[in-house]
Structure 1
Amino acid sequence: MNTNGLYLQLISVHGLIRGHSLELGRDADTGGQTKYVVELTKALARHEQVARVDLVTRLVCDKATAEDYCTPIEHLSENARIVRIQCGGRRYRRKELLWPHLEEFIDKTIKFINNQDRQPDIFHGHYADAGYVAMQLSAAFDTPFFFTGHSMGRNKLAKLLSSGTSKTEIERQYKITRRIETEEQVIQRADMIITSTQQEIEKQYGLYDNGPTASYTVIPPGIDLDTFHPYYDSQLDIDLLSEEAKQTKVTLRNELHRFWLHPDKPFILALCRPDQRKNITGLIDAYGSDQELQALANIAIFAGIRQDINSMEENEKAVLTDMLLQMDRYDLYGKLAIPKKHDFATEVPALYRMCAQSKGVFVNPALVEPFGLTIIEASACGLPIVATNDGGPVDIVANCKSGILVDVSKTEEIVKSLKAILIDPESWEKYSNNGINGVRKHYSWIAHCHSTMEQYLKFLPDQYGQEASKINSQARPLASKRPSFGKRLLGLKKLMITDIDNTLVGDNDSLYQLLDILQENNRKLAWGVATGRSLELTLEAMTEYNIPMPDVLICSVGTEIYYGPDLRMDKGWQQHISHLWKPEEIKETLAQFEWLIFQESEGQRSHKISYYLNNEENRLDILNAELKKQKLRCKVIFSHNQFLDILPHRASKGKAVNYLQYKYEFLPRYVMVAGDSGNDADMLTGKTRGLIVGNHSEELEFLKRSPRVYFSEGEYAAGVIEGLWHYGLIG
């Protein structure tokens, strides 16, 4: 990779994304945003100050989808590629079902970055889920975080409620509460939010508590002007068209004409996903309720790609079924075309031009349209538009003056506007020419990338050139904004983890000698503590003994992991250990044993239930048997002959260390774990190198036979130092 330019990571978790023949409209997740991020990746990669652009998305290996989506790396150009990360299994899932799997996506992206020759300079999330991912990666690597929402949950919620959809159904279908909560966090944390229109800032982000204090910049989207060229180019140069272009035109004409009794009339074109928010039924109501409009023009609605409606998701199935019922209700046979599929790369540009050649109109009847890419494309081809007055079309029409904005909830407004353009040739020509000229002025990829790069450079150090240096002089500094625990852990090969009580602390002289050694080896050795203490009690102990903040804190017997001075919790670990964790059922099961004493509230955590136990009469065996009888999967840890901790079956200090190894790719031979008691046992028996201090409890004597465990003569921290020398982690 060229190290002189920027390494950018664009994140778009949902949708089926590939570099060719995008399946736009296949379902609710494959709309204009999908095309936008692919085109943006390619365009940014052509910029002279960019070394590489990765578009990071989800790996999908599903018989129901193309094999392309199962390719881990797809090169788009010399400097651009699609990177696919597996999470939540291998089957394709709609975006609302991916929320529980984003921590896995983050962890595996960190692993991917660890294997690159450098770390990204910018993380840019697209849509709410990818915004969350980019926010977490940005925190890990201390890099600027950019966000483009494309559509926002609060606005969507308001529109769905106004359309009559119940709150229960909205929550079930869209997981809207989780989405809105995440968007609030993302808005608060983003260094810059890029929108395509001013309306997004005011009418969408303005609905959020954190909206007024966020930083925004408006950068209109770009389109490929060679692909979306004016309709009259095709008319004038018909003999110069490629055979593929001629075949595409004939195929489209035949497909549409088989629906229409009078194919020579102008036609109204709609192109969108089969989603309730796109308000296709509102458009059909408008057309079906007006006989004069039906006499003036046919109508064609390309509502995604379908094979069998019954096999589709509920939302798409409901929309398509209603379309067919409306066709019958208004008796639109011979007037309404509803083709089953289209090829976006070749057929859609030709569709716009074919509609323009018929002197037709393009309609976007969405309840809210945050982006409006199809409106820009249609305008570029010289096709006048009628579009919703809620969202991106407001700015597009203001810039291009290529059509009429309407309140799509009022069918009479849709009808009136369509008629106004269809009946008046002068208005049609005015809107057509305005669109062609306006798009070329306001919506080119060159202009879009120049503005985007200008924003990126504002938040980067000046090693990227004089332009960045000049811009940075006016921007707020970010270098000290947050610690870079990700950069540090990925940059080191050696790791030492130690228990606190009776291992790290116990002898002050050796403790401070150890701390001096760790500081001297800071550039090659990361270190952390693993303890049964809660985070609060861990910090108390470290304060008491004047211990500086380590790189990693493993607390509450391995159920919580924190990084760096600002104690960022590893949510991926929390998600991982939550599998089959049923704390309330465990408490109910153990409540029958009167000799089991529930610890005070400070000892309880979300993933740790703690008791005091006098283990006489084999009481520990009785507890284990009862938990097994009730089929409650959990881990029981007994230490110091009095402390009983119940953890998720995936949790322990040892498993937490293994997780760190996996996530940051430390080799086992370069990881030393140190302890003194029974609750350190599983940490000491892993594949890493174990160190047991000289003052250890008898519970660990059985490990003297282990080839990967060293028993030191030194006690407390002196034993830890001995282990570091023994395993070659220092010196």
Structure 2
Amino acid sequence: MSELIQAVLNSEEKLDLRSFLSDLRHQDKKYLLRNDIQNVYRDYCSHYQKPEQFYTSSHLGKLLYYTQEIIQDESSFCLIIRPKIASQEVYRLTADLSVEPMTVQELLDLRDRFVNRFHPNEGDLLELDFGPFYDYSPMIRDPKNIGKGVQFLNRYLSSKLLQDPKQWLQSLFEFLSLHQYNGVQLLINNRIKSQKQLSEQVKSAIAFVSNRPSDEPYEELRFHLQTMGFEPGWGNTAARVQETLEMLDQLIDSPDHQTLEAFISRIPIIFRIVLVSPHGWFGQEGVLGRPDTGGQVVYLLDQAKSLEKQLQEDSIQAGLEGLNVEPKVIILTRLIPNSDGTLCNQRLEKVYGTENAWILRVPLREFNPNMTQNWMSRFEIWPYLETYAIDAEKELMAEFQGRPDLIVGNYSDGNLVAFLLSRRLGVTQCNIAHAFEKTKYLFSNLYWNDLEDKYHFSLQFTADLLAMNAANFIISSTYQEIVGTPDSVGQYESYKCFTMPDLYHVVNGIELFSPKFNVVPPGVNENYFFPYTHTQDRVESDRQRIEEMLFTLEDPTQVFGKLDDPSKRPLFSMARLDRIKNLTGLAECFGQNKELQEHCNLILVAGKLRVEESGDNEEREEIVKLYRIIEEYNLQGKIRWLGVRLSKIDSGEIYRIIAEHQGIFVQPALFEAFGLTILEAMISGLPTFATQFGGPLEIIQDRINGFYINPTNLDETGAKILDFVQKCEQKPDYWYQVSGRAIDRVYSTYTWKIHTNKLLSLARIYAFWNFTSKENREDLLRYIEALFYLIYKPRAQQLLEQHQYR
């Protein structure tokens, strides 16, 4: 039995538990989530006049703190307890307080009955269980180390080298012998025929290069090293070659995980990278703010630039200049024929500021041109992805003149395409989710049938399961994206066990302790986003134009609202107008706080101004809601709403101008997987208030370099912002202190240089791991393929048939 339940039953609080359960029976809600449980418990303590210590420190309080869900089922209650991160226990509790554990299958059946209580299922549902396929791979034990997969994997691999040196050195030898660039052999040639000979020749090569001047270029050493069996790739100078060979020598003689990581991370095996993001409007101009188009465009363009630059540096350091190596990065996205004035109908577009990074757009196959010729919601794209992957494979092979070395998926659709491509091409697959819809929409899996016409979650959640299990490694921006916090479930953790009634049960959807998970936060583009104090990097004409647009421009096509007093401190936010980004929640918070209105103006940069201009249902609803809030709270004269699409240059300057006015950035999302706008605001010097639900918890250090807010509690949020404003007025230095610490936080932790080095290191190490364990992965991949063809594809075909008539 749970220690938490046992502690209550063994104490005088047993009566309180009975009384609390009695109160639950009179609740309208029969399915309570953690916030609901805490609210009912707070009311219980208030009603029975319990002391504050009972609420926070009693055995019952602790039990309910760790209880994620309570489901009432006729004469009993089901308690889903999460005593620690990545761990779940389920118990049935009856009125007489008898307790029995429930299996995962019993829990899923109960959830099904709750949804289908008037039409219960007959017979069993398909069960999806990925657990057995992870028996082959090593497992992390301590939850604190989840997200540090590569560190664990390096320790595991180096221990294998020690335990079974002959087999693992043979694998390493074969791996090093594989690699070529445009038909030119790298690292080891056929003069070295075995791992034993490799060990001998490494020592000879070290002796040779150690007698050469340390700065002697590789080209002058090349012929002699080739006769010893070593091709280009070890270094660009004698010193660099010696250093790399000594790492290999140490690995052969006395392996350790640091040496393994350092050695594998520097060998040149990655030259061609695909970043996959099919949905949305993907371009470099005129796309931000459109439906389904926001942070991922900024993220991928910055990532592509940084990757190309790092690949170039790595190639030079590896001594490959004589081979005319040209690393190439391709962002694979969708070609939209009716492109609404953007370049989204252009097949190939070079990424600004790069030598060989490109946006490659591949169209969806025709089917119904009313759908495929136009922008399509990310919720509707599913039927086209298999044929899209087939067509994209041909285009990529033509552009690269061969296979890519790494495929990185983005979002649910991009990750599914990455899986299909990597399976066909035999290439290392990396997944980056950014955000899962499953955690954005409450009870989205339980009530998927009711939401299917609008969101098609059956396809999306199936795609997520397939892609995340197929991936060689997964990058998350934060630890909590994987396994949450002590009091909230992580995005990946939400896939561990769930039901989609009438479709399937997931009894083990993902192994959270797998070393495939790695936390690698993104960076911020320092060319566009930098502190407002860097006046030498700013363009005065841009500053004046943006200043006018923010505060005084009267143009009803772009701006709604005229400020009565433009000199008030600006509260600023910039995001898409959708429910999750919650800009309407911020407007309502501002509207409810009269005192805040006396000190500040609210300035929003958000989407369209008119319903008829938007083709997105959710955006249209939010537009109507924002106008209603402005009217209800009489915010005319206190709010500016800019319906503009901005270039990154203008976005950067907006943050800096708000900072010059000693403004505040507020990010009020109901959930934010990471929060690039938070980084952009902080590096610009803006004190930032950001949602406590999601990634901002790991970016911001509360009350040091920013502030957490609960966007569902408008009174509390308004009070926190007002308190900061009043402190700044009382102590003018306070704003500057928080501003300076925000800037320092970004520069120390969130740069693209840090991100890219880590990503490429991971890609090389997992390529080695994939090579040594590929036989053990084949059964998993066959299982995933079976689910794709038996579950995903028939449902995709049904949706495609619906599209034929639109």
Q: Same fold (TM over 0.5)?
A: yes
Shift of the 577–308 alpha-carbon distance from structure 1 to 2, 3 Å rule, reads closer
Work out whether 1:25 is the aligned partner of 2:289: yes
Shift of the 199–576 alpha-carbon distance from structure 1 to 2, 3 Å rule, reads closer
- The equivalent position to 1:192 in structure 2, one of 470, 473, 476, is 473
- The equivalent position to 2:346 in structure 1, one of 64, 68, 71, is 71
Q: What is the deviation of 1:402?
A: 2.3
The equivalent of 1:664 in structure 2 is none
Structure 2 residue identity aligned to 1:247: R
Q: What is the deviation of 1:308?
A: 5.0
- The equivalent position to 1:430 in structure 2, one of 710, 720, 737, is 737
Counterparts in 2 of 1:390-405, with a 5 A limit?
390-398=693-701, 401-405=704-708
Q: What is the deviation of 1:49?
A: 3.7
Q: What is the deviation of 1:457?
A: 0.8
Work out whether 1:34 is the aligned partner of 2:297: yes
- The equivalent position to 2:547 in structure 1, one of 234, 249, 267, is 249
Counterparts in 2 of 1:500-511, with a 5 A limit?
none
Work out whether 1:206 is the aligned partner of 2:481: no
The equivalent of 1:43 in structure 2 is 306
Counterparts in 2 of 1:639-718, with a 5 A limit?
none
Q: What is the deviation of 1:66?
A: 2.5
CA distance in 1, matches of 2:363, 2:609: 26
CA distance in 1, matches of 2:788, 2:482: 31
CA distance in 1, matches of 2:479, 2:800: 46
Q: Give the TM-score of the pair, scaled to structure 2.
A: 0.56
The equivalent of 2:380 in structure 1 is 97
SS at match of 1:70: coil
Q: Which has the larger radius of gyration?
A: 1
Structure 2 residue identity aligned to 1:34: V
The equivalent of 1:11 in structure 2 is 276
Shift of the 400–446 alpha-carbon distance from structure 1 to 2, 3 Å rule, reads farther
SS at match of 1:341: coil
Work out whether 1:85 is the aligned partner of 2:362: yes
Contact in 1 for aligned 2:383/2:797 (Cα 8 Å): no
CA distance in 2, matches of 1:11, 1:334: 44
Cα deviation per residue 1:520-550 (whole Å; 9 max; x = unaligned)? xxxxxxxxxxxxxxxxxxxxxxxxxxxxxxx
Q: Which has the higher contact order (CA 8 A, sep 6+)?
A: 2
CA distance in 2, matches of 1:168, 1:291: 43
CA distance in 1, matches of 2:682, 2:703: 8
Q: What is the deviation of 1:74?
A: 1.0
Q: What is the deviation of 1:312?
A: 2.8
- The equivalent position to 2:413 in structure 1, one of 121, 129, 132, is 129
How many residue pairs get aligned? The number is: 484
Shift of the 580–323 alpha-carbon distance from structure 1 to 2, 3 Å rule, reads closer
Structure 2 residue identity aligned to 1:54: I
Q: What is the deviation of 1:301?
A: 1.3
Structure 1 residue identity aligned to 2:493: G
Q: Which runs of 5+ in 1 are unaligned?
A: 462-471, 485-561, 583-731
CA distance in 1, matches of 2:560, 2:414: 42
- The equivalent position to 1:286 in structure 2, one of 561, 586, 589, is 589
CA distance in 2, matches of 1:176, 1:337: 36
Shift of the 299–168 alpha-carbon distance from structure 1 to 2, 3 Å rule, reads farther
CA distance in 1, matches of 2:702, 2:474: 21
CA distance in 1, matches of 2:478, 2:796: 42
CA distance in 1, matches of 2:274, 2:762: 15
Structure 2 residue identity aligned to 1:87: L
Structure 1 residue identity aligned to 2:712: S
Q: What is the deviation of 1:482?
A: 5.8
Q: Between the two proteins, what is the percent identity of the paired residues? A: 25
Shift of the 79–225 alpha-carbon distance from structure 1 to 2, 3 Å rule, reads same
Structure 2 residue identity aligned to 1:179: Q
Q: What is the deviation of 1:127?
A: 0.2
SS at match of 2:409: strand
CA distance in 1, matches of 2:697, 2:459: 29
The equivalent of 2:526 in structure 1 is 225
CA distance in 1, matches of 2:448, 2:599: 40
Root-mean-square deviation (CA, aligned residues, Å) is: 3.4
CA distance in 2, matches of 1:576, 1:179: 11
Counterparts in 2 of 1:47-58, with a 5 A limit?
47=310, 48-49=313-314, 51-58=327-334
The equivalent of 1:302 in structure 2 is 605
Shift of the 580–456 alpha-carbon distance from structure 1 to 2, 3 Å rule, reads closer
Work out whether 1:138 is the aligned partner of 2:422: yes
Q: Which runs of 5+ in 2 are unaligned?
A: 1-179, 183-267, 316-326, 366-371, 484-489, 497-509, 554-558, 802-806
Contact in 2 for aligned 1:147/1:190 (Cα 8 Å): yes
Contact in 2 for aligned 1:360/1:422 (Cα 8 Å): no
CA distance in 2, matches of 1:437, 1:580: 49
CA distance in 2, matches of 1:160, 1:154: 6
SS at match of 1:456: helix
Shift of the 320–96 alpha-carbon distance from structure 1 to 2, 3 Å rule, reads same
Work out whether 1:261 is the aligned partner of 2:564: yes
Q: Give the TM-score of the pair, scaled to structure 1.
A: 0.61
The equivalent of 2:63 in structure 1 is none
Contact in 2 for aligned 1:107/1:572 (Cα 8 Å): no
Shift of the 74–581 alpha-carbon distance from structure 1 to 2, 3 Å rule, reads closer
Cα deviation per residue 1:579-599 (whole Å; 9 max; x = unaligned)? 9999xxxxxxxxxxxxxxxxx
Structure 1 residue identity aligned to 2:341: A
CA distance in 2, matches of 1:349, 1:292: 30
Moved more, 116-125 or 568-577: 568-577
SS at match of 2:604: strand
Which protein is richer in helix relative to its size?
Answer: 2
